Amino acid sequence: MIKKLIRKILGTKSKAARDANTPVVLGPEAHGIDPRLLSNNAIRVTSALQEAGYEAFVVGGAVRDLLLGVKPKDFDIATNATPEQVKRLFRRAFIIGKRFQIVHVMFGNDLLEVTTFRGTTSANAPKDEHGRVLRDNTFGSQAEDAERRDFTINAMYYNPANQQVLDYHGGIEDIRAKTLRIIGKPEERYREDPVRMLRVVRFAAKLKFSIEQETGAPIKVMAPLINNVPAARVFDEMLKLLMSGHALACLQQLRKEGLHHGLLPLLDVVLEQPMGFKFVTLALDSTDARIHAGKTVSPGFLFASLLWHQVLEKWEAYRAAGEQTIPALHLAADDVLDSQTEKLALQRKIGSDMRDIWAMQPRFERRTGKAPHKLLEHQRFRAGYDFLLLRCASGEIDAEIGEWWTAFYESDEASREDLISSASQPSGGGAGGAKRKRGPRRGGRNRSGGGRGDEGSGPDNAAPAHDGGGD
């Protein structure tokens, strides 16, 4: 209680933060980092800088992961050398960024980001009318650099040479207590950069940490500030969130924090559409599984999945208004892409991938003549086919179609012809692949959130072999 009161009076978050200029120094036995988790290239960069007389540390997420015993996926380096000085030391080093320059050091395909210590945000840094810091590019001391990082667990420095961790803000305690605590006054830090609200959610879900009470408290109220952040930045952060290997947990956490509402049209759609709930859950599950298996995930596929049920709804509406199946699908895709692009800055490439995947869907219904062969040659067949399987698994369409395509895809030429002739019998298809044939049969599902997922079809693509289709 008393401790809490003192913290409140001081406006600080932990013992260490009271003297934020002097770090707690931890040796190898205290922090227990396994040096084998470090990449050779990270050591190459820090030692080259140190040999040239500069300070250099591994910093941020990599130190956090090392302390958690996890192999970091990338290494950021912090130094007191200026970008020019850094560049001179490496053969393949590129200064990037206009406002605040950082250096990309490359070894083969491995990229390390080297950043000069930043100064703390000065009171007169330019801000927008909501208090978001627009520009802030001063260099500073290591202590200042630590202070402007987001969370205590992300503000530690590791020196591979002497294996010491420098901790300015009680990060080590918070790691041990599995706590996410923002550095400084939460309201101020969210106002400076509202993206930090998304970051806290991502880290909480990914690391399974809890959000310290004062860190979490302002989020519900401040969530709308995200709307003023440039779309491209929000998009980058959303992508990180969705590709974190914990996408589903992240989205659930966003909802818990009240961050999905009005935050992004995308999330409103995704989290509040009863019809698409099962589909989205499956899509995110399989994305998470792919990431854990070390496979790639295409952002186009991901966003195509997240928005599919919005497309379906509009597609049906256009058809009901008399449009033909295919033009109706394109109109629906246009609508959805337009409405999402505004806020989300969907890059052109991602948008066109999404459109390809959607546009392929009705073509899976045509299983006669040359059509299936042509589709198989489509550049993005695999993505379209995976998407089809998700639609089957979610119960949106008949599982039989997915099974047929799996057989077709995996067969030799002769068996393919057999498959085509077997499919040419009573098709059961009808125009418009995504017609929710079973919809009307399932009384009441329209309003029961997520209810349709409970009907027998397992999450596995192969599972709903039977009873998939309404007759």
Which of 65, 136, 145, 150 is flagged as catalytic? Answer: 150
118 binds ligand ATP (CB under 6 A): no
Q: Which range, of 60-68, 159-167, 405-413, 430-438, touches Mg ion by CB under 5 A?
A: 60-68
Distance between CA atoms of 200 and 48, rounded to whole angstroms? 34
Q: Which range, of 43-51, 99-107, 149-157, 214-222, touches ligand ATP by CB under 6 A?
A: 149-157
Q: Applying CB under 6 A, which of residues 144, 147, 150, 365 lies at the interface with ligand ATP?
A: 150
Q: Applying CB under 5 A, which of residues 38, 46, 61, 387 lies at the interface with Mg ion?
A: 61
Q: Which range, of 54-62, 139-147, 331-339, 368-376, touches Mg ion by CB under 5 A?
A: 54-62
Which of 65, 76, 136, 288 is flagged as catalytic? Answer: 76
Q: Tell me whether residue 102 or residue 376 sits nearer to ligand ATP (CB atom).
A: 102
288 is catalytic: no
Q: Applying CB under 6 A, which of residues 76, 144, 288, 396 lies at the interface with ligand ATP?
A: 76
395 binds Mg ion (CB under 5 A): no
Q: Running DSSP on this structure, what letter comes out for residue 58?
A: E
Q: Applying CB under 6 A, which of residues 60, 216, 453, 468 lies at the interface with ligand ATP?
A: 60
Q: In the bound complex, what is the minimum distance in angstroms from residue 78's beta carbon to Mg ion? A: 12
Q: Which range, of 188-196, 264-272, 387-395, 440-448, touches ligand ATP by CB under 6 A?
A: 188-196
Q: Which range, of 15-23, 61-69, 259-267, 389-397, touches Mg ion by CB under 5 A?
A: 61-69
The one of ligand ATP, Mg ion, none whose footprint includes residue 13, by CB under 5 to 8 A per kind, is: none
Q: In the numeric block, which tokens belong to residue 358?
A: 């959607």
Q: Which range, of 189-197, 284-292, 307-315, 392-400, touches ligand ATP by CB under 6 A?
A: 189-197
149 binds ligand ATP (CB under 6 A): yes
39 binds ligand ATP (CB under 6 A): no
74 is catalytic: yes
Q: Tell me whether residue 15 or residue 240 sits nearer to ligand ATP (CB atom).
A: 240
Q: Applying CB under 6 A, which of residues 136, 144, 174, 193 lies at the interface with ligand ATP?
A: 193
Q: Tell me whether residue 61 or residue 433 sits nearer to ligand ATP (CB atom).
A: 61
Residue nearest to ligand ATP (CB): 61
Distance between CA atoms of 299 and 150, rounded to whole angstroms? 26
For strands 110-116 and 76-79, give the pairing: parallel
Q: Tell me whether residue 61 or residue 402 sits nearer to Mg ion (CB atom).
A: 61
Q: In the bound complex, what is the minimum distance in angstroms from residue 61's beta carbon to ligand ATP? A: 2
For 146, the enclosing helix (H) or strand (E) is helix 142-147
144 binds ligand ATP (CB under 6 A): no
195 binds ligand ATP (CB under 6 A): yes
193 is catalytic: no
154 binds ligand ATP (CB under 6 A): yes
Q: Give, as ranges, the residues between 218 and 277 that touch ligand ATP (CB under 6 A).
A: 240
211 backbone dihedrals φ, ψ, rounded to 5°? -90, 125
Q: Applying CB under 6 A, which of residues 13, 132, 191, 196 lies at the interface with ligand ATP?
A: 196
Distance between CA atoms of 73 and 39, rounded to whole angstroms? 10
Closest CA to 173 of 25, 16, 9: 16
Q: Tell me whether residue 61 or residue 351 sits nearer to Mg ion (CB atom).
A: 61
Indicate the SS3 state at residue 423. helix
Which residue's entry shows tokens 């948008």? 351
Q: Which residues are catalytic?
A: 74, 76, 150
Q: State the residues that interact with Mg ion by CB under 5 A.
A: 61
Q: State the residues that interact with ligand ATP by CB under 6 A.
A: 60-61, 76, 149-150, 154-155, 193, 195-196, 240
